[in-house]
Copies of this chain bind each other. A is one copy, B any other.
């Protein structure tokens, strides 16, 4: 299985390697007949140019690594699709990695990807130091998380106003006992939970600590967590969730338990997935513009790659907006 090189083609066609190169790259200065002969020889031999040799000599092709915790979560799918689209417009290649939300995988991914791409975009749970150690010098754009390292950048997801609007909406509808299903990663409260607490406080609500529970980021996770929450605190009449997937699980379980949504339980998710419009009742949610998120990320990678500084943090923000549908 020896590799066929440009040399073999040249010999077979009875020309120099340079001429082969010219024929293959559609250069002008070449005789029609010669060109055809070379092309035929190449085809016969099954010749394929080495992308490495080619990349080495003409320093174009940009490849970026996109790191996603869970491609099957529609929120990340949308981000990936948007980023792909933005990258395509620049003729960049994107290698995609799904870390399955696992820190070990994340490290493995970084190590592998780190030596094969020109920049990295994505979701990471590791510390910046740890990441830096593996990508050594690569530009990195974080999604939904802050950064310190000046060679990095980040697209922030700001749900503060959106969540405040959600809480106000619930309060206006008469709810006072509002719970939250947060994520449960590292047993650390999410920033979204903090926004919720702040909004609740501003609205004059007093939150029972038991009203906030962690859930796995999946439909089942939401269902399970809601069941537990409802059993312990049946007094809750409204619920915010870390994301739409969890909300959907909660909504289903709530209905299975005989609760009417939104009459008995008002529900507001986070993400604003299209998927939310398909369920019954349609899910009210704090919507994130994933398209903007993906596009901003790619744009900022372009800046970093060009040696410029990242855009100003205030321009690298995607703000959540309350999207009223049927569940609240």
Q: List chain A positions with a Cβ less than 8 A from chain B.
A: 1, 3, 43, 46-56, 59, 61, 63, 71-72, 74, 77-78, 80-81, 84-85, 88, 91, 93-98, 112-113, 115-117, 136-138, 219, 248, 252, 274-275, 278-280, 307
CB distance from A117 to the nearest CB of B (A): 8
Instruction: State in angstroms the CA–CA spacing of A94 and B98 once bound together.
Output: 11
Question: Looking at the complex, which one of B50, B80, B137, B219 makes contact with A278 (CB distance below 8 Å)?
Answer: B219
Q: Which residue of B lies closest to A45 (CB)?
A: B137
Please give, as numbers and ranges, the residues of chain B lying within 8 Å of A137 by CB-CB distance. Answer: 43, 46-48
- List 14 A-B residue pairs with CB atoms under 8 Å apart, sorted by A's residue number: A3-B59, A46-B137, A49-B115, A51-B55, A55-B55, A71-B80, A71-B81, A71-B84, A84-B96, A91-B112, A93-B113, A93-B116, A95-B95, A278-B279
So how many copies of this chain end up in the complex? 2
Q: Answer whether A72 and B78 are a contact pair too, CB < 8 Å, given A51-B115, A56-B53.
A: yes
Please give, as numbers and ranges, the residues of chain B lying within 8 Å of A112 by CB-CB distance. Answer: 91, 93
CB distance from A293 to the nearest CB of B (A): 15
User: Is the CB–CB distance between B97 and A95 below 8 Å?
Assistant: no
Question: Looking at the complex, which one of B63, B88, B252, B274 makes contact with A97 (CB distance below 8 Å)?
Answer: B88
Q: What secondary structure prevails in chain A residues at the interface with B?
A: mixed
Q: Which of A47, A52, A137 has the most CB of B within 10 A?
A: A52
User: Is the CB–CB distance between A94 and B93 below 8 Å?
Assistant: no
Q: Which residue of B lies closest to A281 (CB)?
A: B280
Please give, as numbers and ranges, the residues of chain B lying within 8 Å of A307 by CB-CB distance. Answer: 1
Question: Looking at the complex, which one of B54, B94, B252 makes contact with A96 (CB distance below 8 Å)?
Answer: B94
Q: Which residue of B lies closest to A46 (CB)?
A: B137
User: Is the CB–CB distance between A63 and B115 below 8 Å?
Assistant: no
Please give, as numbers and ranges, the residues of chain B lying within 8 Å of A50 by CB-CB distance. Answer: 56
Instruction: State in angstroms the CA–CA spacing of A95 and B192 once bound together.
Output: 33
CB distance from A43 to the nearest CB of B (A): 7
CB distance from A5 to the nearest CB of B (A): 11
Instruction: State in angstroms the CA–CA spacing of A71 and B75 once bound together.
Output: 12
Instruction: State in angstroms the CA–CA spacing of A48 and B118 once bound together.
Output: 10
Q: Which residue of B lies closest to A76 (CB)?
A: B77
Q: Which of A74, A93, A115 has the most CB of B within 10 A?
A: A93
Extra A-B contacts (16), CB below 8 Å, given A52-B52, A71-B77, A219-B278: A3-B59, A47-B137, A48-B137, A51-B115, A56-B56, A63-B95, A71-B80, A72-B78, A77-B77, A80-B96, A84-B97, A84-B98, A88-B98, A93-B95, A94-B96, A95-B95
Question: Looking at the complex, which one of B74, B84, B117, B279 makes contact with A74 (CB distance below 8 Å)?
Answer: B74
Instruction: State in angstroms the CA–CA spacing of A56 and B56 once bound together.
Output: 8
User: Is the CB–CB distance between A116 and B61 below 8 Å?
Assistant: yes
CB distance from A21 to the nearest CB of B (A): 13
Instruction: State in angstroms the CA–CA spacing of A270 and B262 once bound together.
Output: 32
